[in-house]
Chains A and B, each alone.
Chain A
Amino acid sequence: EDKVVQSPLSLVVHEGDTVTLNCSYEVTNFRSLLWYKQEKKAPTFLFMLTSSGIEKKSGRLSSILDKKELFSILNITATQTGDSAIYLCAVEGNTGNQFYFGTGTSLTVIP
């Protein structure tokens, strides 16, 4: 059965810290991996990764994929309280039409 596992489940850091969130997967015929940020409402798209070793970057957030070891990381540098959210990882498998979500990592950034 296809599976997406995120770690840690929750994390509390101080403003200015750097955090690394992990996503490992076992999905048949991998196509892509996505990261979403979910605050109080709907998940919002952050990154889509399809190729190993190519870093995607947006401001203080960056992500990279390792298709050999079947995982991805999401890094957030110089964290701010506004980064507090649940970060979801989703992987697209062989159907090509649906994504399998992990249960998320809950990040809390305290002043």
Chain B
Amino acid sequence: DAGVIQSPRHEVTEMGQEVTLRCKPISGHDYLFWYRQTMMRGLELLIYFNNNVPIDDSGMPEDRFSAKMPNASFSTLKIQPSEPRDSAVYFCASSGWERGHNGYTFGSGTRLTVV
């Protein structure tokens, strides 16, 4: 398995623009998580899905953020409009039946810079 795949790896955008981050979880995993990582706040859970259904979005900072999971192999995190304070590394992670032994598997992350 290729692991959790995220795209793009880097994104630089201007304030006010829409940004879409993409994630392909490991095949067979039924949980998908979106995290944001900054130096100040560390890893913060934004939202997670179980079997494509959003379970907890309490970590989504505000209405500018939205996430979807239209099927078991794809999820998006959208920021509209983007702001400089959204600059961070965004990680997607997935987990499945082996979670009891291995926890999550993380993707390589998308480094977002909003200027």
Contacts and interface: CB of A to CB of B under 8 A. Distances in A.
Interface string A25-53: 00000001010100001111100100000
B103 A48 contact: yes
B102 A42 contact: no
Contact of A97 (B50, B91, B102, B108): B50
A83 to B, nearest CB: 19
A43 B48 contact: no
B85 interface: no
Contacts of A103: 41-43
Contacts of A101: 35, 42-45
Interface of A: 32, 34, 36, 41-45, 48, 88, 90, 95, 97-104
Given A43-B91, A44-B106, A97-B31, 16 more contacts: A32-B100, A42-B107, A45-B102, A45-B103, A45-B104, A48-B100, A48-B102, A48-B103, A88-B42, A98-B33, A98-B45, A98-B48, A98-B56, A99-B103, A100-B45, A101-B43
